[in-house]
């Protein structure tokens, strides 16, 4: 028997990996909070600015999102990533920001020993977790796609990018949202915004610290809870909370869950007893890369990686429902597990 878990992104805004537990309130009665929601990179984006009445800043942020989508999306034929993928192994000249994001992606490929790999494009295109009618990809097609995945096939020379395997395809979906959120925050900071949140489909980037001195309280979803109930709360002053979880996008075939975090070595979803990983760190692009990298490494090796990094904490949720927190959570980031 086949059942399907469809992922409608608007619902994901409410009940996906992370929900904002405490609204961003103004510091005085005369202050305003402005907010705007849009859809980019197959993701709902919501930006909320505290103590701010300039709604043009919100419009500017969404223009930024559109610009980066046209630059980084592997599904837009005119994007720089698509041009690399379509070049049949020939060098393609791209701009500095595309180079910066590719280099950041390669960094997390190396950090995870290829468990996270940005040349997963051919493989990820075989899996459909939103419009799937109940069929798994053909095993032969998966094997062929796996043979194209190897981040070491990316050659960068100045502003030229080349895929030495002409059949390979880059997919920056696992890291681009974080980069875009960081660029939005930088723009808002430059324009005097000091409080607010940027939520890119569950990548929550907080602009702070708050004038009141309060922390932002960010909820981590209870895995597989249809209502998006909060299982735990973390607090941050000025940083990001990013999660990767098997409950975000998945299908169920013959009572087995197939989720969207794919193992580049097998072509199938990872099976490592994890439900999810939440990263707390200063920059959202790093949270993006680390959440998937740590998931690929599993609890023990993933936690070892987190403990080796400065200004970075993590919460791992295992499939027995247990929370495993890095050493700094208790000391520097209040963590509140909820049982209600």
Tokens of 336: 């509140």
**Percent of residues, the chain, with pLDDT higher than 70:** 87
Sequence-separated (6 or more) residues with CB below 8 Å from residue 78: 70
Q: Let me know if residue 226 belongs to a domain.
A: no
Our measurement of the distance from residue 54's CA atom to the centroid of its chain's CA atoms, rounded to an integer in Å, reads 28
Confidence at residue 135, expressed as pLDDT on a 0 to 100 scale: 80
- Which neighbouring-strand residues pair with 163? 154
3-state DSSP percent of the chain in helix, strand and coil, to 5: 30, 30, 40
- Which residue in the block uniquely carries the two structure tokens 């959440």? 291
State the pTM of this model. 0.88
- Cα torsion 180, 185, 187, 188 to 10°: value is 140
Confidence at residue 181, expressed as pLDDT on a 0 to 100 scale: 96
Confidence at residue 14, expressed as pLDDT on a 0 to 100 scale: 33
Identify the burial level of 27 via C-beta atoms within 10 angstroms of its C-beta, where 0-12 means exposed, 13-18 middle and 19 or more buried: middle
Q: Let me know if residue 253 belongs to a domain.
A: no
Mean pLDDT, residues 25-51 taken together: 78
Mean pLDDT, residues 146-159 taken together: 98
- Is the pLDDT at 17 greater than 70? The verdict is no
Q: What is the pLDDT of residues 171-184, one digit of tens each?
A: 999 999 999 999 99
- Is the pLDDT at 257 greater than 90? The verdict is no
- Is the pLDDT at 93 greater than 50? The verdict is yes
CATH number for 96: 1.10.3980.10
**Percent of residues, the chain, with pLDDT higher than 90:** 71
Answer with the residue of higher pLDDT: 56 or 133: 56
Tell me how far apart the alpha carbons of residues 108 and 72 are, in angstroms, rounded to a whole number. 17
- Which neighbouring-strand residues pair with 335? 234
Nearest alpha carbon to residue 240 among 184, 162, 297, 167: 184
Domain coverage including residue 141: 75-163
Candidate from 32-36, 258-262, 333-337 with smallest mean pLDDT: 333-337
Q: Let me know if residue 128 belongs to a domain.
A: yes
CB atoms within 10 A of CB 166: 13
pLDDT band at 7 (very low <50, low <70, confident <90, very high): very low
Tell me the pLDDT of the chain averaged across its residues.
87
Confidence at residue 226, expressed as pLDDT on a 0 to 100 scale: 74
Which phi and psi angles does 122 have, rounded to 5°?
-65, -35
Q: Let me know if residue 111 belongs to a domain.
A: yes
Tell me how far apart the alpha carbons of residues 172 and 151 are, in angstroms, rounded to a whole number. 12
Nearest alpha carbon to residue 39 among 201, 244, 228, 248: 201
Answer with the residue of higher pLDDT: 287 or 230: 287
pLDDT band at 91 (very low <50, low <70, confident <90, very high): very high
Q: Let me know if residue 3 belongs to a domain.
A: no
Whether a cis peptide bond, with omega within 30° of 0, leads into 91 is no
What's the 3-state SS for 103-156? HHHHHHHHHCCCCCCCCEHHHHCCCCCCCCCCCCCCHHHHHHHHCCCCHHHEEE
Q: Let me know if residue 31 belongs to a domain.
A: no
- Is the pLDDT at 31 greater than 80? The verdict is no
CB 101 within 8 Å of CB 81: no
Tokens of 80: 């720089």
CB 217 within 8 Å of CB 240: no
Number of folded domains that form the chain? 1
pLDDT band at 332 (very low <50, low <70, confident <90, very high): low
Q: What is the pLDDT of residues 278-307, one digit of tens each?
A: 999 999 999 999 999 999 999 999 999 999
Confidence at residue 335, expressed as pLDDT on a 0 to 100 scale: 59
- Is the pLDDT at 101 greater than 90? The verdict is yes
Confidence at residue 270, expressed as pLDDT on a 0 to 100 scale: 96
Q: What is the pLDDT of residues 107-147, one digit of tens each?
A: 999 999 999 999 999 999 999 887 766 789 999 999 999 99
Q: Let me know if residue 81 belongs to a domain.
A: yes
Nearest alpha carbon to residue 88 among 194, 174, 187, 165: 165
Confidence at residue 336, expressed as pLDDT on a 0 to 100 scale: 55
Tokens of 145: 């796609």
Would you list the DSSP string of 230-278? EEEEEEESSSEEEEEETTSSEEEETTEEEES-B-TTTSSB--SSEEEEE
Q: Let me know if residue 255 belongs to a domain.
A: no
Mean pLDDT, residues 73-101 taken together: 97
- Is the pLDDT at 36 greater than 90? The verdict is yes
Confidence at residue 133, expressed as pLDDT on a 0 to 100 scale: 65
* Cα–Cα distance list, 278 to 116, 169, 240, 242, 333 (Å): 16, 27, 10, 5, 13
């Amino acid at each position: 028997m086949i059942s399907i878990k469809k992922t409608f992104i608007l619902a994901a805004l409410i009940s996906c990996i992370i929900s904002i537990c405490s609204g961003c309130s103004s510091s005085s009665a005369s202050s305003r909070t402005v907010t705007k929601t849009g859809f980019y990179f197959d993701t709902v984006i919501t930006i909320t600015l505290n103590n701010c009445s300039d709604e043009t800043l919100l419009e500017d942020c969404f223009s930024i999102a559109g610009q980066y989508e046209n630059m980084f999306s592997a599904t837009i034929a005119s994007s720089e990533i698509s041009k690399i993928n379509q070049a049949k192994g020939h060098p393609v000249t791209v701009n500095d920001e595309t180079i910066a994001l590719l280099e950041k992606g390669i960094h997390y490929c190396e950090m995870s020993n290829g468990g996270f790999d940005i040349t997963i494009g051919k493989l990820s295109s075989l899996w459909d977790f939103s419009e799937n009618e109940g069929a798994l990809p053909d095993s032969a097609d998966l094997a062929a796609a796996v043979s194209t995945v190897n981040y070491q096939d990316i050659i960068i020379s100045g502003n030229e990018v080349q895929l030495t395997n002409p059949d390979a395809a880059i997919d920056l979906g696992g890291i681009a949202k974080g980069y875009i959120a960081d660029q939005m925050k930088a723009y808002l900071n430059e324009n005097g915004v000091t409080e607010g949140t940027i939520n890119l489909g569950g990548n929550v980037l907080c602009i702070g610290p708050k004038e009141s001195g309060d922390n932002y309280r960010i909820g981590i979803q209870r895995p597989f809870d249809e209502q998006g109930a909060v299982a735990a709360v973390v607090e941050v002053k000025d940083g990001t909370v990013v999660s990767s979880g098997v409950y975000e996008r998945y299908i169920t075939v013959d009572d087995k869950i197939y989720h969207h975090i794919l193992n580049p070595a097998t072509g199938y979803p990872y099976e490592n007893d994890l439900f999810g990983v939440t990263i707390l760190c200063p920059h959202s692009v790093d949270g993006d890369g680390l959440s998937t990298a740590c998931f690929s490494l599993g609890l023990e090796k993933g936690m070892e990686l987190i403990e080796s990094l400065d200004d970075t904490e993590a919460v791992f949720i295992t499939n027995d429902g247990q929370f495993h927190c890095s050493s700094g959570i208790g000391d520097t980031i209040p963590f509140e597990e909820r049982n209600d």
